[in-house]
């Protein structure tokens, strides 16, 4: 049977090209004759293989693979990609087998066709697990050869352009799948012409009523804007000509689905969307882009807060352009995009721009570099056991609502909105994420859970003695951070996870002003029964692997009434940047807020806070990697213990007088001891007292020093 396909295909190659083939060849002027001969051959084999098949619309089936090849030609892809586009359905729907394809077209074309065919086999399964598995296979096929997904995107685009032939149920299913998966992938790869085309068709079929209402409303809104836009274009063009800048200005209309998602995301009416219509200015160099920016701001006033420089800081998919919004005639807001010709080509074709699989130089365009970074990330997290989990992780990366932050060295990192310091740590490197213990934003120390904002400089503090904290799962955002944290927790043995879980639970209780030893047995039993745990070890293990949140478990254990009773007399004390870490204050130097402090990572006590002047710091000089910078939180509301030494005349009543003075200052005395008696009838008295901060302590010490029988007052250092 395959032999007959070869025979008829060879005969077809001897005949005049069909109208479909002529049209396709006319789009391949960037390829040489040898390349086009391979594509003619692929068309002949596809045409013969699908000869007795037709589409739901009634058209001959060959219309579909030719349409796919035409879309790939528009991206200016190589001959293997276009041949595979023509042949992408033959393994699944016809008698053509892999041996024939390999013999006639080579290993490369076979690999591409086979990759697309395997994706199609389970694509329309209604079982959630299989859908997720299909998505996982698609992503991994893309990692192997990104042309597989480019062919798949072209296949989906041509199919969705003929959805009218299907029943409404299938139309909605395919349209929504396109909006949720395929359009975001096209966007992530920077192929905006395919992304926009997919969204345009999918929105029409997936949300027909919304599409109809928005479309008619937009037509009314834009009725007068075209005339205004022409006037603005002429005025800007005149200004650029005066500056001798060669340019091209085109009008651009924001696509309907982008307007809809913006309205939905920002809860805005159509009237509040200001960049529905705009102009695109194409020049020759980046330098001219910035010149044009200055000139258009001279012609029309810019709208404050509506400027984005994607040339200096490209988007995550490699897109580069300058965006600015201006107040045109009568206050009409107009968005201007300024870019070079190369940037414009990249904006339309993304990773497919300047295609160079066979490049001798190996130079990649920005989108190709960005895409390869993304694919490397996909490859890193592909080992998950659950396809559904893999699907959710990758979807986080498909929606480009990103922020950008800087490392102290000036490197730019793009992260999803709501990313935290921990997400940033994992974005730098897995080892950085696993060992992070604190962070600084713009040189100020912050908790690891702090949500980042664009433009910030973030520094991560690490320690080789530190390990990831399961509580991070409650606030991290990126797929990479979640994957690595879960992988770390799964690698711990049961004993380790139980110990870790107990420590986390104890810390959570401490933050609520309770000790586990003071909890009634009935409360513990009730919690275990309520959460369906057979014993405390199983309970601790669940927190150690990140399944249960320790703070939530502690709150459930204590109940609302007990939490309310504790709310006033215990406020959580924080050292910036140490959320989830057990904090202790060194007995040797008793630091208080206002002191310059440093943290020491202890294997048994967690993070121990010392004063910088502490005499014990020299003892640990060989353990420099265990020391980290520390800074007081801004919201400490209860008092800490410290110790002062009072050198006074040894007279009857001296101790009582000093203690009375402390009491008059509202100071709680925890402990008093006589340290040293001197021959000149003076004595050192040690007072351990509670104070709010260093300033209060200074006031107390001045008050005591002013007493007639006191000669000297100092902070104690053991």
User: From the candidates 11, 37, 59, 92, which is the catalytic residue?
Assistant: 92
Q: Which residue has the higher pLDDT, 129 or 174?
A: 174
Residues 90-119 have a mean pLDDT of: 83
Q: How far apart are CA 571 and CA 105, in angstroms?
A: 73
Q: Provide the pLDDT for residue 673.
A: 77
Least reliable range by pLDDT among 82-91, 121-130, 157-166, 350-359: 121-130
Q: Is the pLDDT of residue 369 over 90?
A: no
569: pLDDT strictly greater than 50: no
Q: What pLDDT shows up at residue 281? A: 94
Is pLDDT larger for residue 685 or for residue 584? 685
At residue 144, does pLDDT exceed 80?
Answer: no
pLDDT grade, residue 288 (50/70/90)? very high
pLDDT higher at 425 or 327: 425
What pLDDT sits at residue 568?
44
The 3 state secondary structure assigned to 202-244 is: HHHHHCHHHHHHHHHHHHHHHCCHHHHHHHHHHHHHHHHHHCC
pLDDT at site 529: 84
What pLDDT does residue 340 have? 93
Q: Assign 368 to helix, strand or coil.
A: helix
Share of the chain above pLDDT 90, in %: 13
Q: How high is the pLDDT of residue 294?
A: 92
Question: Residue 304 and residue 488: Cα distance in Å, rounded?
Answer: 46
> What pLDDT score was predicted for residue 271?
67
Residues with Cβ within 8 Å of residue 296, at least 6 apart in sequence:
236, 239, 281, 324, 326, 336, 338
pLDDT of 366: 53
Cα–Cα distances (Å) from 391 to 132, 139, 300, 496, in that order, read 6, 9, 46, 30
**Predicted pLDDT of residue 680:** 80
Q: Is the confidence at residue 653, as pLDDT, over 70?
A: yes
Report how far residue 710's alpha carbon sits from residue 647's, in angstroms, rounded to the nearest whole number.
Answer: 6
- The active-site residue, picked from 37, 59, 93, 453, is 93
Query: What's the rounded mean pLDDT across residues 579-599?
Result: 79
Range 578-588 average pLDDT: 72
pLDDT band at residue 154 using 50, 70 and 90 as cut-offs: very high
- Alpha helical stretches, state H, 282-321: 286-299
List Cα–Cα distances, 69 to 20, 22, 25, 63, 113, in angstroms.
Answer: 11, 13, 10, 10, 13
Report residue 552 as tokens.
């939530």
Checking if the pLDDT of 126 tops 50, the result is: no
d(CA 552, CA 390): 27
- Report whether pLDDT(380) > 80: no
In this prediction, residue 639 has a pLDDT band, given cuts at 50, 70 and 90, of confident
Of 250-254, 280-284, 491-495, 660-664, the one with minimum mean pLDDT is 491-495
Asked if 99 and 2 touch (Cβ cutoff 8 Å), the reply is: yes
Which pLDDT belongs to residue 555?
75
The CA distance from 533 to 476, in Å, is 27
Confidence of residue 247 (pLDDT cuts 50, 70, 90): very high
Residue 338 predicted with pLDDT over 90: yes
Sorting pLDDT into bands at 50, 70 and 90, what band is 282? Answer: very high
What's the rounded mean pLDDT across residues 112-128?
A: 60
Report, as an integer, the average pLDDT of 310-336: 81
The mean of the pLDDT values for the chain is: 78
Q: Is 335 a catalytic residue?
A: no
For residue 589, pLDDT beyond 60: yes
Where do the domains of the chain lie, and which CATH numbers do they carry? 2-214 (1.10.3210.10), 220-352 (3.30.460.10), 406-488 (3.10.20.30), 492-567 (no CATH), 583-629 (no CATH), 640-715 (3.30.70.260)
| Terminal-to-terminal C-alpha distance of the chain | 93
pLDDT, tens digit, 9 for 90 and up, residues 54-98: 888 888 999 999 999 999 998 888 899 999 999 988 887 788 888
Are the CB atoms for 68 and 85 separated by under 8 Å? yes
Asked if 40 contacts 20 with a C-beta cutoff of 8 angstroms, the reply is: no
Higher pLDDT, 121 or 141: 141
Task: For residue 92, indicate whether it is catalytic.
Answer: yes
Q: Say how far apart CA 203 and CA 218 lie, in whole Å.
A: 15
**What integer is the mean pLDDT of 438-442?**
87
Q: Tell me 252's DSSP state.
A: E
The answer to whether 528 touches 455, Cβ cutoff 8 Å, is no
pLDDT band with cut points at 50, 70 and 90 for residue 135: low
Supply 685's token pair. Answer: 């008295």
């Amino acid at each position: 049977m395959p032999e007959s396909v070869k025979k008829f295909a060879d005969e077809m190659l001897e005949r005049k090209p069909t109208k479909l083939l002529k049209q396709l060849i006319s789009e391949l002027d960037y390829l040489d004759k040898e390349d086009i001969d391979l594509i003619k051959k692929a068309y002949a084999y596809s045409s013969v293989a699908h000869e007795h098949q037709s589409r739901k619309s009634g058209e001959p089936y060959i219309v579909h693979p030719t349409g796919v090849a035409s879309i790939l030609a528009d991206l200016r892809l190589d001959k293997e990609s276009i041949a595979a586009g023509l042949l992408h359905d033959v393994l699944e729907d016809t008698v053509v087998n892999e041996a024939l394809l390999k013999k006639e077209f080579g290993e490369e074309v076979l690999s591409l066709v086979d990759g697309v065919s395997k994706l199609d086999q389970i694509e329309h399964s209604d079982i959630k697990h299989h859908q997720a598995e299909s998505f996982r296979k698609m992503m991994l096929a893309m990692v192997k050869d990104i042309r597989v997904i480019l062919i798949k995107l072209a296949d989906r685009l041509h199919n969705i352009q003929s959805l009218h032939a299907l029943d409404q149920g299938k139309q909605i299913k395919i349209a929504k799948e396109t909006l949720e998966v395929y359009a975001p992938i096209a966007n992530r790869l920077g192929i905006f012409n395919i992304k926009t085309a997919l969204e345009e068709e999918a929105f029409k079929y997936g949300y027909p009523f919304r599409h109809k209402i928005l479309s008619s409303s937009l037509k009314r809104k834009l009725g007068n804007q075209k005339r205004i836009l022409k006037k603005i274009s002429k005025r800007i063009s005149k200004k650029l000509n005066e500056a001798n800048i060669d340019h091209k200005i085109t009008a651009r209309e924001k696509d309907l689905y982008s307007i809809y998602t913006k309205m939905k995301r920002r809860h805005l009416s159509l009237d509040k969307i200001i960049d529905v219509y705009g102009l695109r200015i194409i020049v020759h160099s980046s330098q001219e882009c910035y010149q044009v920016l200055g000139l258009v701001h001279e012609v029309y006033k810019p709208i404050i807060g509506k400027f984005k420089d994607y040339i200096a800081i490209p988007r995550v998919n490699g897109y580069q352009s300058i965006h600015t919004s201006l107040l045109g005639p009568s206050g009409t807001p107009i968005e201007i995009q300024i870019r070079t010709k190369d940037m414009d080509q990249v904006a339309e074709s993304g990773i497919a721009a300047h295609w160079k699989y066979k490049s001798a130089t190996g130079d990649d365009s920005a989108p190709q570099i960005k895409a390869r970074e993304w694919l490397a990330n996909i490859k890193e997290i592909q080992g998950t056991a659950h396809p559904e989990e893999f699907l959710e992780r990758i979807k986080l990366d498909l929606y480009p609502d990103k922020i950008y932050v800087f490392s102290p060295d000036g490197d730019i990192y793009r992260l999803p909105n709501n990313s935290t310091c921990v997400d940033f740590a994992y974005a730098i490197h897995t080892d950085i994420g696993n060992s992070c213990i604190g962070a600084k934003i713009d040189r100020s120390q912050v908790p690891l859970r702090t949500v980042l904002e664009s433009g910030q400089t973030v520094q991560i503090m690490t320690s080789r003695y530190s390990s990831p904290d399961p509580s991070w799962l409650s606030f991290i955002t990126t797929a990479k951070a979640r994957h690595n944290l879960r992988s770390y927790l799964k690698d711990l043995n049961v004993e380790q996870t139980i110990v870790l879980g107990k420590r986390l639970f104890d810390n959570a209780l401490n933050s609520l002003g309770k000790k586990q030893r003071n909890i009634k047995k009935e409360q513990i039993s009730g919690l275990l029964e309520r959460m369906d745990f057979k014993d405390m070890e199983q309970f601790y293990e669940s927190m150690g692997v990140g399944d249960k949140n320790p703070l939530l478990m502690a709150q459930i254990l204590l109940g609302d009434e007990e939490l309310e009773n504790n709310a006033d007399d215990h406020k959580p004390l924080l050292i910036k940047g140490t959320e989830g870490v057990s904090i202790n204050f060194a007995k040797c130097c008793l630091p208080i807020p206002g002191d310059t402090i440093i943290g020491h990572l202890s294997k048994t006590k967690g993070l121990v806070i010392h004063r910088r002047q502490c005499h014990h710091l020299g003892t640990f000089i060989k353990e420099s990697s265990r020391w980290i910078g520390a800074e007081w939180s801004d919201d400490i509301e209860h008092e800490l213990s410290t110790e002062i030494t009072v050198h006074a005349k040894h007279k009857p009543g001296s101790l009582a007088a000093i203690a009375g003075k402390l009491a008059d200052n509202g100071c709680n005395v925890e402990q008093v001891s006589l340290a040293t008696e001197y021959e000149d009838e003076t004595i050192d008295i040690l007072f351990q007292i509670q104070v709010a901060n260093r300033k209060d302590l200074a006031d107390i010490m001045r008050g005591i020093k002013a007493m007639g029988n006191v000669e000297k007052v100092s902070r104690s250092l053991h």
